Chains A and B, each alone.
Chain A
């Protein structure tokens, strides 16, 4: 019933605007899935799972990548594609996903 609950929540928080069936954060997070797994449930042991990390840590990492302050092969190039507001949405979304046993 997640969809139903989310839709009601969205309706309650944005009374005038039409509620979205699929949250914006879920759509954005889907752009990360090819490397980090569906909804942050990362497969394998090369990368830590995004699902269930703290929102603060995720946000700090993404901002550090975006600013080029954290060394990377690819994440600085990717993080520069997202606004600060989108980074906060992504961090909140992945933090809210349940950790899965690997």
Chain B
């Protein structure tokens, strides 16, 4: 298998140089693409650069974590329908099946002029094209009471799936019946627009079965439910009446960790038995540090034909870290779609071609409102040459008519297929 792959790769490289003239770039025999981040965006980009270049481009993926843990479905861990192990996968198929070189390390700096990057382990890598998919990081400075790392271990975000998700589930399990779970939601844009409302539904589902005297209190910085609002509010009324209390326009500006209390910009204080703080977010720190976060110093503006940064040549940014196009959510599905447009553009550009002029994307976000009933929001986006951005195709997209178990099956099918499409 390996031998055949090698011969195929060597042949493909030959074909590429024959057709595109000299494929030697920067004095190297084969173009070098480096991908930072092995989440939904980065892993998909790494896989598709290999797939669509017929292995004629070398791809190196830098990822500090040993495993991929899916944020989508992780609210089901809080509700009790899933274990975190069911959402944890190896990224090694990218290496074994697709020939991606995986380095388990962290990037400490990017030198855009020299097209190099430095790793914490001391290594320096050269790239012809760099793809940065760092996800989000939290703006702890906007919540002074959360700045201490020890506080961050007790007042949890669980907004990056993993240990925090498991720990928040444990807090819910040890909370006595009759207690209050309060969750703060930051102002949009943040990762996964419907995610907080799905989480509220999951915790309410758990309480309805195991702790019926308990309450879910949603403290939302936004003026209304950000995604699938009418559907969520209808479902809460029908299924979780008396459990979920929704408070809009509660902008959390500080936290009293000792008292498990959220404090609003107006000085309102709300205490809880379990306090879950979803902090304000920005592009992952490597993107900020490299100067790529040129939109409000938070998000990275890109050319939507190629996902190349508007700040630095030969550097592409994708996933939750970008300054989004109109009606484009920060979702796993979107990151997977950004990655393919970006991968194709990188291949086009490395072969001296103009990038494809009509890229398209889809988005689907499924939300579980019980252990098996689900609602969705979907959209289709196409590039507008006139507006130079990706716009929702008029007439496309929409939301579920109602929550259903059929959509629960489709949601699980989505997870299985996007995991395979992302990780290979």
Interface residues of A (CB under 8 A from B): 1-4, 7, 18-22, 24, 26-28, 30-38, 42-44, 46-47, 73-74, 77-78, 80-82
Contact = CB atoms under 8 A, between A and B. Distances in A.
B413 A35 contact: yes
Nearest to A6: B54
Given A31-B337, A43-B416, A81-B396, A22 B52 contact: yes
A36 B139 CA distance: 36
- Which secondary structure characterizes the binding site on chain A? loop
Size bin of chain B's contact surface? 35 or more
A22 B358 CA distance: 13
Contact of B396 (A19, A20, A22, A78): A78
Contact of B413 (A1, A28, A46, A81): A46
A37 B376 contact: no
Contact of B420 (A1, A32, A37, A74): A37
A19 B351 CA distance: 12
Interface string B339-371: 011001001100101101011111010000000
A7 B17 CA distance: 13
A80 B340 contact: no
Contacts of B51: 38
Given A1-B11, A34-B414, A36-B417, A22 B344 contact: yes
B6 interface: no
A84 to B, nearest CB: 13
Interface of B: 8, 11-12, 15-16, 19-20, 48, 51-54, 56, 333, 336-337, 340-341, 344, 347-348, 351, 353-354, 356, 358-362, 364, 376, 378-382, 393, 395-398, 400-401, 404, 406-407, 409-410, 412-414, 416-418, 420-421
Given A31-B340, A34-B418, A47-B413, 16 more contacts: A1-B8, A1-B11, A22-B347, A26-B52, A30-B48, A32-B362, A34-B417, A35-B364, A73-B410, A74-B376, A74-B410, A77-B396, A80-B380, A80-B393, A80-B395, A80-B396
The 5 lowest CB-CB distance pairs between A and B, nearest first, are A81-B380, A81-B396, A46-B413, A4-B15, A81-B393
